[in-house]
Chains A and B, each alone.
Chain A
Amino acid sequence: MTIDNNVSDIIESQKTYKRFGIGQRLEHYILMLSSTVLLLTGLPQKYRDFSWSQILLSTPERLEFIRLIHHISAIALTLLAVYHFGKAIIKLFQKKLSGDMLITWQDVLDAFGMMKFLLFIKKEKPKFGKFNFEQKVTYWVVAIGFVLMILSGFIIWFPVGFTQWFPGGAVPAAKLMHSSEAIAAAFFILIWHIYHVHIERLNLSIFTGKLTEKEMKEYHKKEYDRVEHSVKPKSGAK
C-alpha cells in the first residue's frame, strides 16, 4: 500500500461502526493478559527437564513463586470464563443472545467459498456477516480450549479433592490434556489469530471497539449492508 492510500484510508475512515462494547474489549484484555502469563509461567513447568527452564526456576522458591503467579492468573481466567459464559446463558434465557458467534450452515458454505477463492477457482471472496467463519473458528477453538484448560488445570491443582467424587483415571489424563492443549492453543493463536489480525490486515477493532466503513465493506459486506441499508442478507446466498 502506498502512502497516498493510507491518507485516503484515514479520510475514508471517518465513519465507523461499533463492533465491540467496552465490556467485550475488557474481556479481551483480561483474556490476552491472563493467557499470556499462564503460558509464560506454564512452559517452564512443562519443560522442567530442560536447562532453560532450570535457569529460570533456579531455586525451589522460584518454582513456588511461578506457580503462585500461574494460579492467580488461572483464577482471573476462570472468573472471566464464568462471567463470559454466565452472561451468555443469562442472555440465552432472556432470548437476548445475538447469536452472531454461533456457527451456521452459512459458515460451512463460506469456508468452501473461501477455499475456492484461495485455490484460484473463484475470483471473489464470499461476503461475510458480522463475524466471518475464520473469526468464529478462532472464538470456538479458544473458548473450548480454555474450558478444557480450566477444567484440567483445576483437576491437577486439586487432585485429592477431585478424586473424592470423580474417577482417579481423570487425573493423569488431565495432566496430559493441560500440557498438550496449552501447546496446541498457543500454536493456534500464533498461526491463526496473529496472522488474521496482524499480518493479513491490522485489525485492532477488539481494542478500539469499531471498524471503519472501508473495513466493513471489504470484510463484512453483509453486515454493512444490513446496518447501512437495512438489507437482510439472503439466506443461503453466497
Chain B
Amino acid sequence: MTSLLKKLTIPILLVVSLVFFLNIIPASAISPNQGTEEYCLSCHGEQDLTMTFKDGESTSITISKEMLDHSIHSSKGIECVACHQTIQKYPHPAQNFASKRELSIAYYEACKACHSGNYEKAKDSIHASIMDAGNLATAICTDCHGAHDISAAMEPKSKISATCGKCHDEILATYTKSVHGAALINEGNQDVPVCTDCHGVHNIVDPRTVDFRVQSPEMCAKCHSDPELMGKYGLSSDVYSIYKTSWHGVDVSVYKAKWPTIWHDSAVCTDCHGIHDIGKTSDPNSMVSPQNLLSTCQKCHPGAGPNWTGAWTGHNKISLERTPILFYVDAFYSSFSPFVLWVCVIYVLLQIIRQLFDRVRRNLP
C-alpha cells in the first residue's frame, strides 16, 4: 500500500495542483482587467454614487449598463479609459475640479484624440469664441452629443433641433411653428432644413455678420433651386435664379463678390420671408402673405403705398396673367425692337453695297 501511495503521490499532487490551478482561472474572470468597461462598471454600476466638487455641487457618477448600450462608442468596443484618460486604474488619482462644468470642459478635450477634424472646426465656431471670452455655459461637444450615451448623429433629424433648443429655446419655439419646423416635428419630414443645415455643424458662425448675410441666399438655394425637391411640394425652383436677376439679387451678388465686408441693405431671402419663422406664402401669418406683404416692403421702403406691391413680381417668370405691363414691354423689346434694328441694318448694308457699286462704276474707264 505504502509503495502504491508513494507511486501515486506525484500524480495526485499533479491532479490536486491542476484542480487548484484551474480554480484560479475562473477567479480571474470574475475580477476583470483594469481599464475595461466591465471593470469600471463593477463599481460605477452601483446605484447612488456621487461626486462632490469644490463649489459644493455634486453629480451622479453611476453609469448604467443600459445607458452605455445606447452609446455608439461602447458598441464599437471603445473603453471608458479612451475618454477618461487620467483615470486608468483603481484607485483613481484625485480629481480637483472646481465645478461640474469645469470637469465637462476638461473632459471634452478627449474628443480631439479621435475627432480632431470636427474638434478643430468647433474651435472656429461662435460657441468656442464665446467660451474663450469667458462664458463657460456655451456649447461644447458633450452638450450636443451627450457623453455616455452618444448615438450616431442625425438620427432622427428632429433630435438636432431638440438639441439646439436645449439652449436656444425661444428660437426652437419659433422654428416649430414655421413651415420647415412644423413639417419636421409634426410630420417627421426629413426634407426640411434643421438648424445645422443653415448654421453648419461644428463650425457654426455668428449669423449676424455681413458675410453670413451675403451668402445666405445661396444657402436657401441649396434646396429651393432643386427642381426635384421643389416639385415634390409644388414649389417653383426658379426663385433663386429669378432673384439673382432682380434689383435686390444683383446688389447682393455684387456686394458678395466685391465688398463682402461692407454691410448693405438690399434684401436677402430672410429679410422678406423671415428666418426661423418662415411661413408658406399662402399662410396669412407669413411675412409675404398678401395681407403682410406691404408692411414687409415698408421695412425698407417706408413711404410705399398700396400700389407698391404690384411692382413685386414674386420670383415669377414674366407672364401675361401676373405681370401684364411687363409682359407687353418684354414682347415689344424682344420682337418689335430687334425687328426695327434688323431692318436698319439691312437698309444700311444695301446702301453700302450700292455706294461701293457706284464708286467702282465711276472709276471704271
Contacts and interface: CB of A to CB of B under 8 A. Distances in A.
A169 B257 contact: no
A191 B344 contact: yes
Interface string A155-196: 000011101111111111101110011001001100110010
A166 B307 contact: yes
Interface string A47-88: 011000010011110000000000000000000000000000
B304 A48 contact: no
A169 B348 contact: no
A187 B343 CA distance: 12
Interface string B251-277: 001100111001010000000000000
A170 B307 CA distance: 10
B329 A173 contact: yes
Interface in B338-353: 338, 340-341, 344-345, 347-348, 350-353
B34 interface: no
A175 B245 CA distance: 12
Contact of A188 (B247, B258, B344, B351): B344
B311 interface: yes
B324 interface: yes
A58 B257 CA distance: 11
Interface in A112-158: 115, 117-120, 141
B91 interface: no
A177 B329 contact: yes
A141 B326 CA distance: 21
A20 B261 CA distance: 55
B266 to A, nearest CB: 11
Nearest to A1: B359
A163 B303 CA distance: 10
A180 B323 contact: no
B305 A173 contact: no
Contacts of A180: 329, 333, 337
Contacts of A170: 311, 325
B307 A163 contact: yes
A163 B333 contact: no
B12 interface: no
Interface in A70-110: none
Contacts of A58: 258
Contacts of A160: 301, 303-305, 308
B355 A200 contact: yes
B134 interface: no
A161 B351 CA distance: 47
**Which secondary structure characterizes the binding site on chain B?**
helix
B310 A49 contact: no
A167 B333 contact: no
Given A177-B333, A181-B333, A167 B310 contact: yes
Contact of B333 (A118, A166, A172, A176): A176
A188 B341 contact: yes
Nearest to B257: A54
A60 B259 CA distance: 8
A180 B331 CA distance: 11
B351 A118 contact: yes
Contacts of A166: 307
Contacts of B330: 176
Interface string B57-100: 00000000000000000000000000000000000000000000
B341 A163 contact: no
A200 B351 contact: yes
A166 to B, nearest CB: 7
B313 interface: yes
Contacts of A181: 333, 337
Given A49-B250, A160-B303, A168-B311, A118 B347 contact: yes
A176 B259 contact: no
A150 B325 CA distance: 18
A173 B308 contact: no
A176 B341 CA distance: 18
Contacts of B355: 200
A87 B198 CA distance: 62
B309 interface: yes
B101 interface: no
B326 A172 contact: yes
B21 interface: no
Contacts of A192: 344, 348
Contacts of B212: none
B354 interface: yes
Nearest to B323: A169
Interface of B: 247, 250, 253-254, 257-259, 262, 264, 301, 303-305, 307-313, 323-326, 328-330, 333, 337-338, 340-341, 344-345, 347-348, 350-355, 357
Given A118-B353, A141-B340, 11 more contacts: A49-B250, A49-B254, A118-B347, A118-B354, A120-B357, A161-B303, A169-B323, A176-B330, A176-B333, A191-B341, A195-B351
19 contacts: A54-B257, A118-B351, A159-B301, A161-B303, A163-B305, A163-B311, A167-B310, A168-B308, A168-B309, A169-B310, A169-B326, A172-B326, A177-B333, A180-B337, A181-B333, A184-B340, A188-B344, A191-B345, A195-B352
Q: Which 6 A-B pairs have the closest CB atoms?
A: A168-B310, A168-B311, A171-B311, A180-B333, A118-B350, A173-B325
